[in-house]
Chains A and B, each alone.
Chain A
């Protein structure tokens, strides 16, 4: 029997981000502003848990339905589920949806109420991300039952041959007893054969399942010719994903965060160019030497986001300012992290302020992380600009590097996937703001687990990308 003890969750990076599978999205469904959290299943087919907070008390009904992302099945949508409002908080709705196949999905939310009706869609990657072996308690229940069933089967066969055909009151003679023993021996062989074949079948099913467990694209990074970052991707094979099916997100095929180890005191946000399928290159900007961890966000044609990761040793590079959309910053080493600090100094006397809620920060709870740029007099900064079409970018990184999430003001879903979901142009709102971008930016996100995190927040002001860095302890 393939009964393995202990729960072993394979440390497999999740497609979108690393170790942070939940989807957070803030947006408008018509007149209603929603904060949507989707907790996808770890095994597919499985059930996704949906949480929606509506900023407006006028909403009356919240309907949710799963659809394939970018597919033609919108016209074939099933009957929507009605998300249920919380008794304690009627503006907080919950529901659950089945995601039946691995790949790229969307959850469509339809809201109706006193202000009219509205709709938005949130992309969700549905991915089997774990291999579960049998827990000790479950094995302790099933093994004795299996044993009783096997022994019971053998004994029933023996009893039927020994006594089943005896007239009432008769006792079995030696011949029947002997036949009974033969029959029990035969039944033992049958039971053993059934267990053996069952085990083969189980292994076959487990092998079939393993093919569907997400296998991330592998990344190998090197610095060549002194400052040329070479990123070589290789596909271990998983479903129909490939290296040549990437689509641009904010005009770039890859968004790469490069963070120096182990102190996380230097960060670069880069955008390597794809030279051919599976090969990205980038001339590195100025950089202190050291070992860096790389987190590269890419999006496949079907809207499936993926984060590739590796480590690379880099030499000191000087005299090269970041160009284009590339940017970077620095922070105090982790060893000197101040977990109470909410102000981060920027250039020219400016500063970034984290409007941090009262501690503690709790894992698994969706919230808005608000940051404000102030001038040296403490006034909201002017001259704010869009950075790659967004009011800001944030990276939430676990100090043990088990978590990485690149989040936008709209949430953790990439813009390319949001476009495929059929939402209105996700940049439209920001473009409308372009004339007057506020000095405050917020990011919907929830920490996946307890631990210490470093948050890199980037906004653009007066043609310059500013990077604020904050540290956060998170509790369960």
Chain B
């Protein structure tokens, strides 16, 4: 049992709704910078091909780390040094400092991102310039970005769980926004396995099931709004679609060869996956069967996620392969300069669907993965529900 020694009304919102604190805005902005910078950087590599440390996309990503690090450091220092800080009673202690839990996570993320910069530079000198996304320094950067996301979530959540009424609702929206960008960034990690050519393979659905149900379940469980999963998927959809419409407005030309597809403008990401369909189905399930045992709920959620997602994405993939999708809205006529003209992707062909035992194995694995992901998400959400600091 915890022993209460004092209570600061400053952290409650019994009176008129307080504005969202600046540090929560900063953390949301940091996550936005990471999401924008990451997609910009990928587009840069698919359009121009080569880069330097000082490209706008890289600056955008590292601004995320700097903003997260500086704002959280300021928050921690002010909470530690100011006895009248409104957050003092709602803070945790670490190494003699005091601050909201999310601030420490944000600071860790910012430091990890900053650490990745000299590490990555050395890596390039030792092993060559970027040829792969997955490298140890890039993973340090990714760990930093993920920590910034989690820190931003926890920072918003701590305030949200302490607030009520209009203030809580505002914070809840911000919490869902950060959750939506978390889906965006997780899907970046799975990007190379989720191109449209793979959408008629069970493996594709297994890949998507590793991360998306976890985030949807965790955010929805911790959120205090009814359609949280749908909103999170909607934010992912709007962000990615808008990115896909905005990037091709900017000029860009390949600086590496061979150039199989002449380009004059930046390459957009693929049209967003129809995650909104399974998210809506999951919201319905959780609204009506939310009291089920978490494992039972996870199994049902896993099955519904896969079923609803496949029911929407499979036929939509047919449309994406058709000439009707080759326009600015769906963007399937864009190709990276390096895309081999003989590839399935460039020829609008699907990779063969698994058959027989392979199909069964992938389907069962997808179900198992989705179930475990939802269960982990529910556990994470349960933990987040109780966050107060």
Residues of A within 8 A of B (CB): 41, 43-47, 65-68, 73, 76-79, 81, 98, 100, 128, 131-135, 138, 141-142, 145-146, 148-149, 152-153, 155-156, 158-160, 162-173, 175-176, 198, 201-202, 205-206, 209
Contact = CB atoms under 8 A, between A and B. Distances in A.
Contact of B389 (A146, A156, A163): A163
Interface residues of B, number: 57
A169 B8 contact: yes
Contact of A43 (B107, B111, B128, B388): B128
A301 to B, nearest CB: 20
Contact of A206 (B127, B139, B383): B127
Contact of A198 (B101, B104, B136, B388): B136
B388 A164 contact: yes
**DSSP class of A's interface residues: helix, strand, loop or mixed?**
mixed
24 contacts: A73-B257, A73-B258, A79-B253, A79-B255, A132-B125, A134-B122, A142-B118, A142-B122, A145-B115, A149-B111, A155-B94, A159-B104, A165-B383, A165-B386, A166-B2, A166-B389, A167-B4, A167-B388, A168-B8, A169-B5, A171-B5, A173-B1, A173-B3, A201-B136
A297 B337 CA distance: 37
Nearest to A71: B258
Contacts of B118: 138, 141-142
Interface in B101-122: 101, 104-105, 107-108, 111-112, 115, 118-119, 122
A131 B101 CA distance: 43
B19 to A, nearest CB: 19
Contacts of A67: 257
Residue in B50, B131, B260 with the greatest tally of chain A CB atoms within 10 Å? B50
Given A44-B128, A78-B254, A156 B115 contact: no
A198 B139 CA distance: 9
Contacts of A173: 1-3
B162 interface: yes
A43 B125 CA distance: 7
Contacts of B49: 78, 98
Given A73-B257, A173-B3, A43 B162 contact: no
Contacts of B260: 76
Contacts of A98: 49-50, 129, 255-256
Contacts of B387: 164-165
Nearest to A151: B95
B136 A205 contact: yes
A40 B146 CA distance: 37
B131 A45 contact: yes
Contacts of A134: 122, 126
Nearest to A152: B108
Given A156-B105, A169-B7, A169-B8, A128 B257 contact: no
Contact of B93 (A163, A168, A201): A163
B127 A205 contact: yes
B293 to A, nearest CB: 23
A98 B45 CA distance: 13
A156 B104 contact: yes
Given A78-B257, A98-B129, A156 B4 contact: no
B5 A149 contact: no
Contacts of A165: 383, 386-389
B94 A159 contact: yes
A162 B119 CA distance: 33
Task: Please name the 6 residue pairs, one residue from A and one from B, whose CB atoms are nearest each other, closest first.
Answer: A76-B258, A170-B2, A73-B258, A163-B92, A159-B92, A165-B386
A66 to B, nearest CB: 7
Residue in A76, A77, A142 with the greatest tally of chain B CB atoms within 10 Å? A76
Given A100-B129, A128-B128, A156-B104, 8 more contacts: A77-B258, A155-B104, A160-B92, A166-B388, A168-B11, A168-B89, A171-B5, A205-B127
A437 to B, nearest CB: 39
B6 interface: yes
A79 B337 CA distance: 11
B90 interface: yes
B135 interface: yes
Contacts of B92: 159-160, 162-164
A308 B5 CA distance: 80
B259 interface: yes
A162 B91 CA distance: 11
Contacts of B111: 145, 148-149, 152
Contacts of A149: 108, 111-112, 115
B128 A209 contact: yes
Contacts of A159: 92-94, 101, 104
Nearest to A102: B128
Contacts of B383: 165
Contacts of B388: 164-168
Residue in B93, B125, B162 with the greatest tally of chain A CB atoms within 10 Å? B125
Contacts of B108: 149, 152-153, 156
A454 to B, nearest CB: 33
B90 A168 contact: yes
Interface string B250-275: 00011111111000000000000000
A149 B135 CA distance: 18
Residue in A43, A79, A149, A198 with the greatest tally of chain B CB atoms within 10 Å? A79
A168 B389 contact: yes
A317 B267 CA distance: 69
A91 B64 CA distance: 43
Nearest to B253: A79
A142 B386 contact: no
A169 B337 contact: no
Contacts of B130: 45
A73 B253 CA distance: 17
Nearest to A76: B258
B94 A156 contact: yes
A159 B257 CA distance: 51
Nearest to A47: B129
A43 B118 CA distance: 17
A169 B389 contact: no
Residue in A45, A81, A135 with the greatest tally of chain B CB atoms within 10 Å? A45
Nearest to A167: B388
A169 B125 CA distance: 51
